[in-house]
């Protein structure tokens, strides 16, 4: 087909930006003109042009002339931002399956303390697991992230002591060879053990991790002596997991340690200090309580805006059974909520470098919670940097991503108005120079939840629910009472009966919260489901647990 002249092409594409229908992704050479450009690193260009060629930014500035071969798009009244980067994603990874009494089988091994090379493998004890070989995100997941302005995600498993080596993946539907921006990015660690076997407890996990890191130091020294060619030096045994840990203990590869509350953060930083690791704390919901230790480390943090329930915060001391303290508890909860939402602002004020990340939030909820952080005192510019260039720096991709500069990958977000405003209107997203139209919120794009529109579903009744936990399937009975779009009820399982709270129905979407006490520990959880007649599917998530999928059938 013959291409239209640049002016006519620009008119047609500008009209397409305003349409509600999705269009096919388009690549090639582009000239985005008359746009307000927030470069992030080099200030704001009030009226400029960006030229995109071969997936890269060829030119950007106020006096750039569009090439004759470019598709020209007039972006008058719109703003262009760098694509957002989310450093907490498990997109495209297979869900853990039960096996061997632990998180599940499959994948790489856990070194000498886990199982020998011919024995069973345990998910979560796999420092040599290369995520780039596994990640296969669905088109729906990629589109959902992209419609929220997220153009790259750092993919890593969410559970375990040694989780594997992460990959930075663009949110584009394309061949596998195009999916990885950088791999490996870093080794991911945490404080979760393997149920039913060593290491299962917190003390066991810490001991296991320290032993593995000491083994890796010794393994590195032996490799160095052997490779030096000195006669009489025994050849070290091959161990893929210890080999993967060698660059970590040598400070050549960063470690990302999932730590949310104050004690976890301090423990992770102590391990980093003991082994001289280039460690980045990920999660850091209570970073405001450990600013001294974080500043002393000199390392950045990845701050999740998935705010935990106030009652799960260190020092809460909630006594809900005493009626006379009800007002006090409500006041305390509001105060704790302000602390959590002000976490990033406290780090910024202390001069700590950080990126903002979603945790396990859905993409549409990500920016909504970033706005809460801004409302709690985080400067808007700092928030934008934390979503772009700071995240790129932590992922080691600041020369490729995170700002609008010549030579960088053309990951761009085009919005009508402020991206961090209450109702941002995203119009187009470029990933690797390929354009994608964002479907407005009246459709299923723009970050809206599937099934969120239409008439309110009727979900009252008794549901037989099966929850896929890391230890196996848990049979549960869910009893719901509905009044308009509000829900209450209870959930009964082998752990007892608990009441649900904050239940809501929006279209076919159902959400509710619950607090379950297991082994003397109270777990705050949130359930999200989608209803299709008498069937419901969804997930249960919590700050201290892996996401668990569930299915439910309504009983007659």
DSSP characters over 239-264:
-HHHHHHHHHHTTSS-EEEEE-SHHH
CA 194 to chain centroid, in Å, comes to: 23
3-state secondary structure (DSSP) of residue 528:
strand
Q: Would you say 188 and 164 are in contact if contact means Cβ atoms under 8 Å apart? A: yes
- Between 111 and 397, where is the model more confident? 397
Q: Which residue has the tokens 């959590």?
A: 340
Looking at residue 248, its pLDDT comes to 96
More confident residue, 447 or 535: 535
Q: Which two tokens stand for residue 304?
A: 């999740």
Confidence of residue 66 (pLDDT cuts 50, 70, 90): very high
**Is residue 384 predicted with pLDDT exceeding 90?**
yes
What pLDDT is recorded for position 520? 60
At 257, the pLDDT band (50, 70, 90 cuts) reads very high
User: Exposed, middle or buried by CB within 10 Å (0-12, 13-18, 19+), for 230?
Assistant: exposed
Structure tokens at 412: 């761009």
Listed residue (77, 18, 19, 73) closest to 49, CA to CA: 73
357-379 pLDDT per residue, tens: 999 888 888 999 999 999 999 99
Q: Any idea which of 159-168, 245-254, 285-294, 421-430 has the lowest mean pLDDT?
A: 421-430
pLDDT for 15: 34
Position 207 pLDDT exceeds 90: yes
Numbered ranges of CATH 2.40.128.120 in the chain: 461-554
In the chain, what percentage of residues exceed pLDDT 90?
Answer: 49
Residue 284 has pLDDT above 90, yes or no: yes
* Statement: 86-322+355-394 belongs to CATH 3.30.420.40: no
Question: What is the per-residue pLDDT for 291?
Answer: 97
For 334, residues 6+ apart whose C-beta sits below 8 A from its C-beta are: none
Task: Name the pLDDT band for 328 (thresholds 50, 70, 90).
Answer: low
Numbered ranges of CATH 3.20.20.140 in the chain: 86-322+355-394
**Is residue 108 scored above 50 in pLDDT?**
no
Cis bond before residue 120 (omega within 30° of 0): no
| Residue 221 to residue 204: CA distance in whole angstroms | 26
Rounded CA gap, 542 and 283, in Å? 13
Sign of torsion, CA 138 143 144 150?
positive
Q: Are 435 and 26 in contact (CB under 8 A)?
A: yes
The sign of the torsion formed by the CA atoms of 308, 288, 397, 244 equals negative
341 preceded by a cis bond (ω within 30 of 0) = no
DSSP string, 266-297: HHHHHHHHHHT--EEEEE-TTGGGSHHHHHHH
Burial of 396 (0-12, 13-18, 19+ CB in 10 A): middle
Whether residue 125 contacts residue 107, with contact meaning beta carbons closer than 8 Å, is answered with no
Sorting pLDDT into bands at 50, 70 and 90, what band is 14? very low
CA distance to 13, 491, 519, 544, per residue, from 496 (Å): 58, 8, 12, 20
Is the pLDDT assigned to residue 104 strictly greater than 80?
A: no
Place of tokens 């915060």: 313
Residue given tokens 């919120």 in the structure block: 441
Going by C-alpha positions, the residue among 353, 263, 354 that lies closest to residue 313 is 263
How many residues can be counted in the chain?
556
| pLDDT of the residue at 519 | 58
> Higher model confidence: residue 547 or residue 443?
547
pLDDT higher than 80, residue 540: yes
**Distance (Å, whole) CA 99 – CA 495:** 22
73 pLDDT more than 80: yes
539 or 33: which leads in pLDDT: 33
User: Start-end ranges of CATH 2.30.40.10 in the chain?
Assistant: 6-82+403-437
Q: What is the model's pLDDT at position 59?
A: 97
DSSP state letters, 410-479: --EEEEES-TTSSS-EEEEEEETTEEEEPPPTTTT-TTPPTT-SSSPP---EEEEEEEEETTEEEEEEEE
**DSSP-assigned letters across all residues of 308-322:** PPGGGSTT----TT-
pLDDT band at residue 317 under the 50/70/90 scheme: low
For the ranges 63-72, 217-226, 472-481, the maximum mean pLDDT occurs at 63-72
Q: pLDDT grade, residue 290 (50/70/90)?
A: very high
- The lowest-confidence range among 88-102, 203-217, 259-273, 423-437 is 88-102
Decide if pLDDT at 283 tops 60: yes
pLDDT at 485: 79
For position 303, what pLDDT does the model report? Answer: 97
90: pLDDT strictly greater than 50: yes
Task: Read off the pTM.
Answer: 0.74
pLDDT digits 0-9 by tens, 405-420:
999 999 999 999 899 9
pLDDT at 50 over 90: yes
Mean pLDDT, the chain, integer: 82
544 with 523: CB under 8 angstroms?
Answer: yes
Render pLDDT for 258-279 as a digit per residue (tens, 0 to 9).
Answer: 999 999 999 999 999 999 999 9
Q: How far is CA 295 from CA 138, 348, 373, 376, 502, in A?
A: 39, 11, 20, 21, 37
- Going by their DSSP bridges, the two strands 187-189 and 509-518 should be labelled as unpaired
Which H or E run includes 404? none
What is the model's pLDDT at position 556?
77
Q: Report how far residue 320's alpha carbon sits from residue 333's, in angstroms, rounded to the nearest whole number.
A: 12
Asked if 404 contacts 310 with a C-beta cutoff of 8 angstroms, the reply is no
Compute the CA torsion angle 176, 178, 184, 187 (nearest 10 deg): -70
Q: Give the model confidence (pLDDT) of 141-191 as tens digits.
A: 888 899 999 999 999 988 889 999 999 999 988 755 567 899 999 999 999
- The Cα–Cα gap between 504 and 482 comes to 9
Higher pLDDT, 440 or 495: 495
Q: 461-554 belongs to which homologous superfamily? A: Quinohemoprotein amine dehydrogenase alpha subunit, domain 2 (2.40.128.120)
Name residues whose C-beta falls within 8 Å of residue 31's C-beta, 6 or more positions apart in sequence.
Answer: 6, 49, 50, 51, 52, 64, 66, 67, 70, 71, 72, 73
CATH code for the structural domain at 6-82+403-437:
2.30.40.10
For residue 470, the model assigns a pLDDT of: 62
Beta strands in 507-544 (DSSP E): 509-518, 521-532, 535-542
């Amino acid at each position: 087909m013959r291409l239209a002249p640049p002016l006519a092409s620009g008119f047609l594409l500008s009209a397409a930006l305003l349409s509600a229908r999705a269009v096919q992704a388009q690549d090639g050479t582009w000239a985005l003109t008359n746009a307000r450009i927030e470069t992030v690193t080099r200030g704001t260009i009030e009226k400029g042009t960006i030229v995109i060629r071969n997936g890269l930014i060829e030119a950007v500035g106020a006096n750039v002339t569009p090439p004759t071969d470019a598709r020209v798009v007039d972006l008058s009244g719109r703003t262009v931002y760098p694509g957002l980067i989310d450093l907490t994603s498990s997109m495209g990874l297979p869900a853990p399956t039960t096996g061997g009494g632990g998180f599940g089988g499959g994948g790489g091994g856990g070194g000498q303390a886990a199982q020998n090379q011919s024995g069973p493998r345990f998910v979560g004890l796999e420092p040599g697991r290369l995520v780039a070989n596994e990640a296969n995100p669905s088109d729906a997941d990629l589109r959902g992230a992209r419609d929220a302005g997220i153009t790259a995600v750092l993919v890593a498993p969410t559970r375990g002591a040694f989780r594997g080596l992460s990959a930075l993946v663009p949110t584009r539907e394309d061949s596998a060879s195009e999916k990885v921006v950088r791999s490996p990015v870093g080794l991911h660690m945490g404080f979760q053990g393997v149920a039913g076997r060593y290491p299962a407890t917190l003390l066991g996990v810490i001991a296991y991790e320290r032993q593995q890191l000491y083994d890796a130091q010794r393994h590195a020294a032996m490799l160095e002596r052997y490779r030096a060619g000195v006669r009489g030096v025994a050849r070290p045994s091959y161990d893929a997991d210890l080999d993967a840990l060698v660059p970590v203990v040598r400070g050549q590869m960063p470690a990302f340690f999932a730590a949310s509350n104050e004690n976890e953060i301090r423990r992770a930083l102590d391990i980093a200090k003991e082994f001289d690791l280039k460690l980045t704390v990920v999660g850091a919901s209570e970073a405001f309580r450990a600013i001294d230790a974080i500043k002393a480390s000199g390392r950045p943090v990845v701050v999740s805006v998935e705010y935990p329930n106030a009652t799960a915060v260190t020092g809460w001391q909630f006594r809900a059974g005493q009626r006379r303290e009800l007002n006090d508890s409500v006041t305390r909860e509001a105060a704790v909520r302000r602390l959590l939402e002000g976490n990033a602002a406290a780090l910024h004020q202390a001069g700590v470098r950080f990126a903002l990340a979603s945790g396990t939030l859905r993409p549409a909820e990500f920016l909504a919670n970033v706005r809460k952080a801004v409302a709690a005192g985080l400067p808007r510019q700092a928030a934008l940097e934390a979503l772009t260039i700071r995240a790129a720096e932590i992922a080691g991709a600041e020369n490729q991503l995170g700002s609008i500069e010549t030579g960088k990958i053309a990951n761009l977000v085009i919005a009508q108005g402020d991206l961090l405003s209450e109702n941002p209107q995203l119009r187009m997203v470029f990933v690797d120079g390929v354009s994608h139209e964002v479907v407005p919120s009246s459709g299923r794009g723009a970050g809206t939840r599937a099934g969120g529109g239409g008439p309110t579903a009727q979900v009252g009744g008794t549901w037989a629910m099966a929850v896929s936990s890391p230890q196996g399937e848990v049979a549960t009975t869910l009893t719901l009472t509905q009044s308009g779009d509000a829900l209450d009820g209870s959930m009964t399982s082998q752990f007892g009966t608990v009441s649900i709270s904050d239940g809501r129905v929006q279209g076919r979407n159902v959400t509710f919260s619950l607090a379950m006490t297991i082994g003397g520990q109270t777990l705050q959880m949130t359930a999200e489901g989608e209803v299709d007649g008498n069937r419901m599917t969804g997930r249960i998530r919590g700050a201290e647990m892996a996401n668990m999928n569930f299915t439910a059938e309504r009983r007659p």
